[in-house]
A = this chain, B = another copy of it.
Amino acid sequence: MDNVQHLNVVKVNEGDNKVGSLQNQKKDTIERERLLVLAAEQPWKPWQRSRSWIKECLVKVRRVMGCLVGLEWYCFAALGVLTAFLSFLMDLSVAKLLRAHQWLYSELEGHSLLQFLCWTLYPVSLCALSTSFSQRLSPSSAGSGVPEVRTMLSGVDMPHYRSLTNLFAKYVGLICTLAAGRTVFLGKVGPFVHLSTMVGDYLNRLYTVLRGKKEEKTEGAMMVVAAAVGVASCFGAPVSGVLFSVEVMSSHFALRDYCPCFFAAACGALTFRLFSVWSGEQETLLALFQTSYSDDLPFYPLEILMFIIVGLLCGACSCVYLFCHRWILRFIKTNKMLIKVLATEKALYSAMLVFLLASLTFPLSAGQYMASELTMKQLLSSLLDNRHWTSQNQNASVVPQPQLCPWPEWCPSGNPHLTLAIFLVMKLWMLVLACTLPLPAGYFMPVFIYGAAIGRLVGEGLAYVSLNVISLDQDRNPINPGGYALAGAAAFSGAVTHTLSPALLALELTGQSTHATPILLATLVANALARSGQRPSFYDALSISKKLPHLPSLHKAFPKLSSVPIGKVLSSGWPVLERAAGPSEVQQVLNTSCQTQIPVVDTLGSQILLGSLNRSDLHTFLCHNHSKVLKKQLGDLCSIQPVSVQLSPDTTVQEAHGVLSLLFGESLFVTEKGRLSGVVTWPEMKRMMEDLSDDL
Q: Which of A501-547 contact B (CB under 8 A)?
A: 503-504, 507-508, 511-514, 516-518, 520-521, 524, 527-528
Residues in B with CB closer than 8 Å to A255 are 246-247, 249-253
Docked pose: A669 CA to B186 CA in angstroms = 53
Q: A283-B297, A528-B69, A642-B648 are in contact. Are A508 and B516 (CB under 8 A)?
A: yes
User: Do residues A520 and B642 form an inter-chain contact, with CB atoms below 8 A?
Assistant: no
A671 within 8 A of B: yes
A124 within 8 A of B: no
User: Do residues B651 and A517 form an inter-chain contact, with CB atoms below 8 A?
Assistant: no
Residues in B with CB closer than 8 Å to A518 are 285
CB nearest to A261 among chain B residues: B500
User: Do residues B517 and A295 form an inter-chain contact, with CB atoms below 8 A?
Assistant: no
A557 within 8 A of B: no
User: Do residues A671 and B642 form an inter-chain contact, with CB atoms below 8 A?
Assistant: no
Q: Which of B243, B249, B517, B663 contacts A266 (CB 8 A)?
A: B517
Stretch from A24-32, A55-63, A92-100, A299-307 forming part of the interface with B: A299-307
A5 within 8 A of B: no
Stretch from A167-175, A270-278, A378-386 forming part of the interface with B: A270-278
Binary contact readout A279-297 vs B (1 if CB under 8 angstroms, 0 otherwise): 0000111110010100111
User: Do residues B645 and A521 form an inter-chain contact, with CB atoms below 8 A?
Assistant: no
A624 within 8 A of B: no
Residues in B with CB closer than 8 Å to A254 are 251-252
A269 within 8 A of B: yes
A139 within 8 A of B: no
Q: A249-B255, A521-B270 are in contact. Are A511 and B295 (CB under 8 A)?
A: yes
A258 within 8 A of B: yes
Docked pose: A662 CA to B661 CA in angstroms = 11
Residues in B with CB closer than 8 Å to A299 are 284-285
Residues in B with CB closer than 8 Å to A524 are 259, 262-263, 266
User: Do residues A295 and B284 form an inter-chain contact, with CB atoms below 8 A?
Assistant: no
Docked pose: A263 CA to B69 CA in angstroms = 38
Q: Which of B252, B258, B290, B673 contacts A674 (CB 8 A)?
A: B673
Q: Which of A219-261 contact B (CB under 8 A)?
A: 236, 238-239, 243, 246-247, 249-256, 258-259
Q: Which of B504, B642, B650, B659 contacts A659 (CB 8 A)?
A: B659
CB nearest to A656 among chain B residues: B644
Residues in B with CB closer than 8 Å to A295 are 290, 292, 511
Residues in B with CB closer than 8 Å to A649 are 642
Closest Cβ of chain B to A382, distance in Å, is: 19
Closest Cβ of chain B to A141, distance in Å, is: 28
CB nearest to A285 among chain B residues: B517
Docked pose: A251 CA to B256 CA in angstroms = 7
A618 within 8 A of B: no
User: Do residues B270 and A297 form an inter-chain contact, with CB atoms below 8 A?
Assistant: no
Residues in B with CB closer than 8 Å to A283 are 296-297
Docked pose: A61 CA to B284 CA in angstroms = 56
Interface centre among A256, A290, A520, A602 (most CB of B within 10 A): A520
Docked pose: A247 CA to B512 CA in angstroms = 25
A79 within 8 A of B: no
Closest Cβ of chain B to A72, distance in Å, is: 13
A310 within 8 A of B: no
User: Do residues B511 and A511 form an inter-chain contact, with CB atoms below 8 A?
Assistant: no
A643 within 8 A of B: yes
A608 within 8 A of B: yes
CB nearest to A675 among chain B residues: B674
CB nearest to A644 among chain B residues: B651
Residues in B with CB closer than 8 Å to A290 are 295
Q: Which of A298-326 contact B (CB under 8 A)?
A: 298-301, 304
A658 within 8 A of B: yes
Residues in B with CB closer than 8 Å to A273 are 517
Closest Cβ of chain B to A569, distance in Å, is: 15
A646 within 8 A of B: yes
A491 within 8 A of B: no
User: Do residues B642 and A645 form an inter-chain contact, with CB atoms below 8 A?
Assistant: no
A647 within 8 A of B: yes
User: Do residues A647 and B645 form an inter-chain contact, with CB atoms below 8 A?
Assistant: yes
Docked pose: A255 CA to B644 CA in angstroms = 26
Closest Cβ of chain B to A318, distance in Å, is: 16
Docked pose: A184 CA to B325 CA in angstroms = 60
A554 within 8 A of B: no
Binary contact readout A591-614 vs B (1 if CB under 8 angstroms, 0 otherwise): 000000000001000001110000
CB nearest to A290 among chain B residues: B295
Docked pose: A286 CA to B295 CA in angstroms = 8
Q: Which of B251, B253, B259, B304 contacts A527 (CB 8 A)?
A: B259
User: Do residues B277 and A301 form an inter-chain contact, with CB atoms below 8 A?
Assistant: yes
Closest Cβ of chain B to A551, distance in Å, is: 12
Docked pose: A573 CA to B270 CA in angstroms = 59
CB nearest to A649 among chain B residues: B642
User: Do residues A270 and B644 form an inter-chain contact, with CB atoms below 8 A?
Assistant: no
Q: Lowest 6 A-B CB distances belong to which pairs?
A: A674-B674, A642-B650, A644-B651, A252-B252, A253-B253, A646-B646
Listed by A's residue number, 20 A-B pairs whose Cβ atoms lie within 8 Å are A69-B528, A238-B517, A239-B239, A251-B255, A252-B662, A262-B520, A262-B524, A277-B301, A283-B296, A283-B297, A284-B300, A295-B511, A511-B513, A511-B514, A602-B673, A609-B673, A644-B655, A645-B647, A658-B662, A662-B662
